[in-house]
Amino acid sequence: MVRRPLFLVIAVLVGLSGESRAADNVVRVASPMTPPAWALLERELLRANAAACREFHAKYFDERGFLLCVERWGGDDGPDDAIENLMDWPILHALGGPDDILSLYKKSWEGHLRQFTLARTTDVPMARDGMYYKEFPVTFDWLHNGEGLVVFNLQGLSDPGDIRFQQRVRRYAGFYLNEDPDAPNYDSKHKLIRSLFNGSRGPLLRKATALDWAGDPIEIGHRFRLGHGERSYDEMLAHFKDYNDIVGDHPQNLSATTLALNAYMLAHEAKYKQWLLEYVDAWRDRMRENGGIIPTNVGLDGKIGSATDGKWWGGVYGWGFSVVVPQTGKLAHRNLHHMGLIGFGNAYLLTGDDSYLDPWRKMIDLINAQGRMIDGRMMYPHMHGADGWYDFTPAKYDQGAFDLWYWSMSDADRARLPDNGWLSYLDGKNPAYPEESLRHDFATIRNKVAAIRADTTTPDTRLADDPLDKNPATVQALNQLMLGGIQPGRRGTVLHCRVRYFDPNARRAGLPKDVAALVESLTADSTVVSLVNLSQIESRTVVIQAGGYGEHQFTSLAINDTAETPLDTIHLTIRLEPGCGTKLRLGTKRYVNQPTLAMPWGLGQ
């Protein structure tokens, strides 16, 4: 006999906050649930995060949203680091953090744009008229440009209707679609971005100098602590002395596709999708042409390696980019080709086409096939130069392997990954993971706040990256457990997650007050999530969305162990009665919808 839920109703939702949507599905949950420990921990961790973030902002930002620091240009400490201090704040709000978190990071973004438009260099040519132009970096590499967009690129999770956000995301994307004559970054004939340095004033088409990277001369002594350990300005220049070969395209530039993706998700204007796929397709073709390995230089003539004496592994941050650390004399390997995966992930989000993942998984296997026995141990390469593969370590090459598994959910991609706490939990082998990871994050926040209070720097002895390690926003476990998501990190990319939540009564992103969620299982075609209302006196209504941007589709619903009910929807509305909760098993078709920034009730707030 089939057991059916006592309190399951699937119906048309009418009159919710004055809105009606004939396609909405409503599930009423009236089964009492004793508040689980994970749920209490989640809600308290959201509160603790917000309180700590308020204290951080009050110490390091002024009433204009300016970071209280010495403004500088460069790869050592520059504008990107200033706003990177608020990394993960957009996710905190999108999870259900309080609205003042959204207000604070928006205020700081406005202040950031103004602060670094006013900030100028004296010696560095490219930033003498402002480090930002048209509210965007004048020209720099995407390791740093991406870090400077960790807040803006996720603002659409909570506030896609903001007119300034919409104008900016279209303007920023336009810098790469040749819509701005000041920014001829893209060569549409050869389908390449013309330099590692690019931005609102276009590409830098000469060799870069140490000055371009290090910024203007600065007193260090006992005044500042440099992130790379430099003790003098001469050592700053020495750090960047070999950072010269920037002309031509580099996989890093695929990070620019996130701008086009966000612009496309506003209104599905075809030009943004077309450019994104055209550019990623060009890189996919280059990987095939280069024997399956992504090259790190494509010259202005469109030929692989032509700007670096024919070396496909050449260029700054290339496969062969190993430099001497001036303080120690040791060799450092700085190969950042893996940032190109961002573009392939963006293309996959738009298409669900596995051919955008296959080149990367083949590259992983090709590189690991170069492994060899060295001193009795199996070792694997991570760099390539004139003498072939080098930088052999016991760790297999696995750049992008985790992302590939998350996107594909295939057993073959999972086999490349070692176990970790979250994966073991999803496999049913680590039931303690939710509570353990959440409890650990309380200690992280406590230690961050202690560091904030112990910080004796003043605005004139503080560089933009000094507060980075004190940013208290601690959301990775919450993202995994509540959304089934993977962390965007410092790459300035979008949020990849299995589900997202909205509060239809407050008309905002995130779980409503008192509601907690736990994603317990992710497979290629199903999602299991538990929901609970911790309020014992008030009902709560929550909308669950399939995917971070509605890219997935719910195909069925089973509550606890009951029979499945067919669905065909992006959004599912759950009414949780006081003190009630349930487990939902959601059949899920992944990457079948065009992603959108629109909330369940539309783009505007």
Dist. CA 319–CA 452, nearest whole Å: 38
Q: Tokens 């970790």 identify what position?
A: 420
Q: Is the pLDDT of residue 19 over 70?
A: no
Better pLDDT: 10 or 166 = 166
Q: Is the pLDDT of residue 343 over 80?
A: yes
Q: What digits encode the pLDDT tens for the residues 430-453?
A: 999 999 999 999 999 999 999 999
Sorted by sequence, the CB contacts under 8 Å of residue 337 that are 6+ apart come out as 250, 251, 252, 294, 296, 317, 318, 319, 399
Dist. CA 267–CA 283, nearest whole Å: 26
Instruction: State mean pLDDT over 98-113.
Output: 98
Dist. CA 426–CA 568, nearest whole Å: 25
Q: Is the pLDDT of residue 1 over 60?
A: no
Of 381, 209, 239, 233, which Cα lies nearest the Cα of 324? 239
Structural tokens at position 108: 């700081």
Dist. CA 311–CA 550, nearest whole Å: 42
Dist. CA 496–CA 258, nearest whole Å: 12
Q: If residue 390 lies in a helix (H) or strand (E), which one and from where to where?
A: strand 388-390
Dist. CA 397–CA 416, nearest whole Å: 10
Of 146, 122, 121, which Cα lies nearest the Cα of 131? 121
Spelled out in words, what is the top-level CATH class assigned to the domain 13-35+498-589?
mainly beta
What type of residue is 162? D
Angle at 364 between CA 360 and CA 370, to 5 degrees: 145
Better pLDDT: 325 or 605 = 325
Q: What's the helix, strand, coil split of the chain in %, to 5? A: 35, 20, 45
Q: Tokens 């009630």 identify what position?
A: 580
Domain ranges for the chain, please list them.
Answer: 13-35+498-589
Dist. CA 292–CA 303, nearest whole Å: 16
Q: Tokens 């819509």 identify what position?
A: 179
Structural tokens at position 159: 């506030």
Are 484 and 522 a contacting pair, CB within 8 Å?
A: yes
What type of residue is 26? V
76-85, 541-550, 596-605: range with lowest mean pLDDT = 596-605
pLDDT-derived band of residue 88, with 50, 70 and 90 as boundaries?
A: very high
What is the pTM for the complete model shown?
Answer: 0.95
DSSP 522-561: E-SSEEEEEEEE--SS--EEEEEEESTTS-SEEEEEEETT
Dist. CA 68–CA 456, nearest whole Å: 13
- Give the chain's radius of gyration (CA, Å): 25
pLDDT-derived band of residue 25, with 50, 70 and 90 as boundaries?
A: low
Instruction: State mean pLDDT over 101-107.
Output: 98
Q: What digits encode the pLDDT tens for the residues 206-234?
A: 999 999 999 999 998 888 887 777 888 99
Structural tokens at position 33: 């649930």
Sorted by sequence, the CB contacts under 8 Å of residue 246 that are 6+ apart come out as 141, 195, 196, 197, 204, 207, 208, 315, 316
Largest CA distance in the chain: 80
Q: What digits encode the pLDDT tens for the residues 568-593?
A: 999 999 999 999 999 999 999 999 99
Are 260 and 272 a contacting pair, CB within 8 Å?
A: yes
% of the chain with per-residue pLDDT over 70 = 96
Dist. CA 223–CA 226, nearest whole Å: 10
Task: Please give the C-alpha separations between residue 252 and each of 145, 272, 317, 345, 451, in angstroms, as whole numbers.
Answer: 10, 19, 9, 13, 33
